[in-house]
Amino acid sequence: MPRYNPADIEPRWQAYWEQNRTFATPDKPTQRKRYVLDMFPYPSGEGLHVGHPEGYTATDIVARFARMRGESVLHPMGFDAFGLPAEEHAIKTGEHPRIQTERNISEFTRQLKMLGFSYDWDRVVSTTDPGYVRWTQWIFLVLYDTWFDPEQKRGRPISELPIPDSIDPADEAAVEAYRAEWRLAYETEAPVNWCDALGTVLANEEVIDGKSERGGHPVRRLPLRQWMLRITAYAERLLEGLEPLDWPTGIKTLQQDWIGRSAGAEVDFYIGSADGFEDWKAGRREAGFVDQPQADTLRVYTTRPDTLFGATYMVVAPEHPAVPRLTTADARDAVKAYCDAAAFKSERERTQGDREKTGVFSGSYAINPVNGAKVPVWIADYVMASYGTGAIMAVPAHDERDFQFARQFDIPVVPVVDPPADHALRQDVLDGKACFAGSGVAINSGSYDGRSTEDVKAAVTASLESEGLGKAAVNYKLRDWLFSRQRFWGEPFPILHEIDADGRQTGVKRPVPDEALPVSLPELKDFRPHGRPEPMLEKADDQWLVVELDGRRYKRETNTMPQWAGSCWYFLRYIDPLNESQLIDPEKEKAWMPVDLYVGGAEHAVLHLLYSRFWHKVLYDRGHVSCDEPFQRLINQGMILGEAELTLYQTEDGTVVAPQDVRRGEDGMTTADGTPVMAKAVQEEDVVKQGEGWVLKDDPNARVESRSFKMSKSRGNVVNPDVVVKDYGADSLRLYEMFMGPLEATKPWSMAGVGGVRNFLDRAWRMIVDQDAAEIRLVDALVDSPCNEEQARVLHKTIRSVTEDIESLSFNTAIARMMEFVNYFTRQKQRPREAMQTFVLLLSPFAPHLAEELWQILGNAKTLAYEPWPQWDEAALVESTVEIPIQVNGKVRTKLVVAADIGKDDLQKQALELPRIQSVIEGKTIAKTIVVPGRLVNIVAK
């Protein structure tokens, strides 16, 4: 009997779409274009997770919908296939990471196809394909060849960088050294996580609390030569560019905070005796604020120049280049010990607010430029070398960190801002016993006393500027991007280092010529670490490592790029996936970019989006793409949590423990401190809700925690899409993921919910197909006559809601409307073909397999993928008659069907004439009649 059977229907339609290349994209749009993009997955060995199809179904609905609206749609998929797990697998098994990666990609492909997504499979890209790597490397060379011109606010070819007069243009090495200070890709020494025990460099995510994730061995920070990308040059552009984008405000704020623009002033303090101070000041007045301060100067960055009079000490970061110069002979040993210890601390550790402040006195003093006061210079690790100028003026009365430090080291606290009168601690602040970081009125500040904080900030900055002692400055939290990894499974850098006859590097660098790209990875015999902090590719033999070019010998760069690289530009490759002669054909690029809708997880809200925007802006500046921002509209899908479980955890003495406090110990469950725990899975029937929380029915004192968790292997709550498809079908999985709630909400999985949408699809099938017949045939209720007025209204309302809901990505409400439609038409003895066909088209973006099948059963020969999307008729939405309740003294006595536009008087007249009403009011007098046209009539009778 012809029951709805996804196991039969779904593979058949998938094969049809594939054979007919139903979703092949035109090279260039022929109609209005829509580029609908998913964040491509890392093809892990675990396969697809139910979190993936959430965003993928959402974009698939939009893509299918847009095609039916006659738009040209680009909806591609690919793989972000470099990554740590494949390399770890290779270290363990000796199998080349490429082999495992390819296996995983084909498994992901199978799963994606099983879900019926309408991707153009001819455009699949993988970041590991040599044809792809080639252009990733090429873009790196564009970055290497670009400098950011702060005047024109754009990237320009390095050949256009003006070389200052002080550099002899014939001195190649000097010119190159100068250029290196400007290139967007440059080398520097940066710390890596080095683990002695494992003999390898670890990625940040492999280090937990200073120990290796694998094995728990200590990890040290070691300086290593690395590549950086000068993303900071684009900070302002990245900030400005956010404004016009159609992105969630939350994501924009995250990006803004990450870039972290801060405005204040740079101020110079004189290092030396009070006698020299006046001369120094006079010199400054003449020369103005210098670009490079002299050895007798310490430059600070402050957001509060108004507090200068309250600066009672200064701090330089332990890594600050001035530390040796500032350190006096008797302080030398203590300073060295302090700086050595600081090198082991992570930045997070150093900046934690509540942590005890540490520091050491350098032995030197500075002179405060505004009042000539002599203040001690300290070295402390709460100041970062890489932010601002790496040195601060400390104002303990108005900065919490400085206040803690001053207390600890007995440094005076001088208040210079009087808090507002209603401030609770005002007196303590004035007495130097509390810190106040807000705005107020200047005190103890010479001629500035009595003026507001904002006012003094501006006035002090202006005065410093006129005396050549300071200037307004802007800083960003954003740091340059540490762009190299010491890994095997990544893109090699297309850079050559010249070597002399002894194999020593001369310092001259050279890009790999275009025709020699891509630089492929070397063949290695095994992937085990070589036990040195240098990159893995140092294991390669000379055949790969050493290159001869134009009679010179070079050693290849052995760092590899981070996984972020490939995902910075994949959306461009989809547009022109096979191009070997250009990054992208400019005409195709112009025709398809920017991406109209980009959907992906919120975990990429900051870095991926920032990095790819940065690359895109550079490509734009250099004329390789036509738009400055790649992603016009962005949506983050919410996380799908594990099935809401009710589990009770108790320690042996019966104490109830919250699930997050429980972990699996050597032989059973323990609390974090090792106390054994008994876990009892509780059936929902055993539980009642009481007051705030949940308790056991038979033991009201036993609290039960009911909550949903992130899906994870260790919790055993991971839902496998293969299993869901096998048990319910792909259409049910797609529909359920869209029905769970708003796309952006976090929501728990429920298998019962999947069963629920499966029931809906079954009912939709039975609305059209006669399930009791021996073979496929339409239900007897299906008629060729048109809809009656009410049916037409239901139909057109559904068309309108589903259309509008898809445009606004409110898929859950669209599905609810379709459910109402099925409920209504299942009750109809006559189901007009017109309504059934239209419904199938509306359902098709959500449940494409079932829809194609029904479409065919309804007698259509071709796929519905390009059928015109149904239009609603406004006229059909208007109700021509309405049913009006007629009340006597507030109680409904009967109902009256009248024309929807009936007048007040007519309505009252007809109501009073009704026999039922006549009998109720017989013998009474009518005090008044309330008529609300279209709503009700109420007769007040006594």
In angstroms, give the least distance from the CB of 436 to ligand ANZ. Answer: 8
Site for ligand ANZ in 211-270 (CB under 6 A): 262
According to the binding rule CB under 6 A, does residue 486 interact with ligand ANZ? no
For residues 759 and 137, give the distance between their C-alpha atoms in angstroms, rounded to a whole number. 51
Count of residues engaged in binding ligand ANZ, rule: CB under 6 A: 17
According to the binding rule CB under 6 A, does residue 704 interact with ligand ANZ? no
According to the binding rule CB under 6 A, does residue 765 interact with ligand ANZ? no
- By beta-carbon proximity to ligand ANZ, the closer residue of 387 and 592 is 387
According to the binding rule CB under 6 A, does residue 403 interact with ligand ANZ? no
In angstroms, give the least distance from the CB of 393 to ligand ANZ. Answer: 5
Of 182-190, 390-398, 568-576, 667-675, which segment contacts ligand ANZ by CB under 6 A?
390-398
Sheet of strand 185-195: strand arrangement: 200-202, 185-195, 220-229, 481-482
Dig out the tokens for 835 from the structure.
Answer: 């309504």
Can you give 735-751 as a three-state secondary structure string?
Answer: HHHHHCCCCCCCEECCH
Of 146-154, 386-394, 540-548, 769-777, which segment contacts ligand ANZ by CB under 6 A?
386-394
Instruction: Give residue 711's region: left, alpha or beta (phi > 0; psi -120 to 50).
Output: beta
State residue 90 phi and psi, 5-degree precision. Answer: -65, -40
DSSP 641-677: EPP-EEEEEEETT--EE-GGGEEEETTEEEETT--EE
**SS3 (DSSP) at 69:** coil
According to the binding rule CB under 6 A, does residue 395 interact with ligand ANZ? yes
DSSP 769-797: B-TTSSS--B-TTEESSPP-HHHHHHHHH
**SS3 (DSSP) at 679:** strand
**SS3 (DSSP) at 547:** strand
Residue of 62, 90, 377, 392 interacting with ligand ANZ (CB under 6 A): 392
Dihedral angle computed from the Cα positions of residues 822, 828, 829 and 835, in that order, rounded to the nearest 10 degrees = -60
In angstroms, give the least distance from the CB of 817 to ligand ANZ. Answer: 49
- By beta-carbon proximity to ligand ANZ, the closer residue of 351 and 671 is 351
- By beta-carbon proximity to ligand ANZ, the closer residue of 478 and 769 is 478
Judge whether 807 and 597 are in contact, CB under 8 Å. no
At position 723, the amino acid (one-letter code) is: V
Residue of 304, 604, 747, 849 interacting with ligand ANZ (CB under 6 A): 304
In angstroms, give the least distance from the CB of 303 to ligand ANZ. Answer: 4
Round the CA-based radius of gyration of the chain to a whole number and report it. 36
In angstroms, give the least distance from the CB of 475 to ligand ANZ. Answer: 5
Of 299-307, 534-542, 727-735, 834-842, which segment contacts ligand ANZ by CB under 6 A?
299-307
In angstroms, give the least distance from the CB of 238 to ligand ANZ. Answer: 17
Residue of 124, 233, 235, 393 interacting with ligand ANZ (CB under 6 A): 393
- By beta-carbon proximity to ligand ANZ, the closer residue of 304 and 800 is 304
Residue of 96, 398, 608, 817 interacting with ligand ANZ (CB under 6 A): 398
According to the binding rule CB under 6 A, does residue 100 interact with ligand ANZ? no
Site for ligand ANZ in 346-385 (CB under 6 A): 383-384
Burial code (b: 16+ CB inside 10 Å, e: under 16) for 49-75 equals bbbbbbbbbbbbbbbbbbbbbebbbbb
According to the binding rule CB under 6 A, does residue 280 interact with ligand ANZ? no
- By beta-carbon proximity to ligand ANZ, the closer residue of 29 and 191 is 191
- By beta-carbon proximity to ligand ANZ, the closer residue of 350 and 895 is 350
Dig out the tokens for 661 from the structure.
Answer: 């406090």
In angstroms, give the least distance from the CB of 298 to ligand ANZ. Answer: 12
According to the binding rule CB under 6 A, does residue 342 interact with ligand ANZ? no
Can you give 203-226 as a three-state secondary structure string?
Answer: CHHHEECCEECCCCCECEEEEEEE
For residues 307 and 669, give the distance between their C-alpha atoms in angstroms, rounded to a whole number. 55
- By beta-carbon proximity to ligand ANZ, the closer residue of 100 and 307 is 307
Burial group, residue 267, by CB count within 10 angstroms (0-12, 13-18, 19+): buried
**SS3 (DSSP) at 878:** coil
Of 45-53, 298-306, 657-665, 692-700, which segment contacts ligand ANZ by CB under 6 A?
298-306
Dig out the tokens for 676 from the structure.
Answer: 């054994």
- By beta-carbon proximity to ligand ANZ, the closer residue of 302 and 670 is 302
Of 137-145, 162-170, 295-303, 658-666, which segment contacts ligand ANZ by CB under 6 A?
295-303
According to the binding rule CB under 6 A, does residue 302 interact with ligand ANZ? yes
Residue of 10, 80, 399, 731 interacting with ligand ANZ (CB under 6 A): 399
Dig out the tokens for 114 from the structure.
Answer: 């099983």
Which residues, 6 or more positions from 130, have their beta carbon under 8 angstroms from its beta carbon? 518, 520
In angstroms, give the least distance from the CB of 197 to ligand ANZ. Answer: 33
Nearest to residue 416, comparing CAs of 316, 305, 313, 314?
Answer: 305
According to the binding rule CB under 6 A, does residue 475 interact with ligand ANZ? yes
What are the residues binding ligand ANZ (CB under 6 A)?
262, 301-304, 307, 383-384, 387-388, 390, 392-393, 395, 398-399, 475
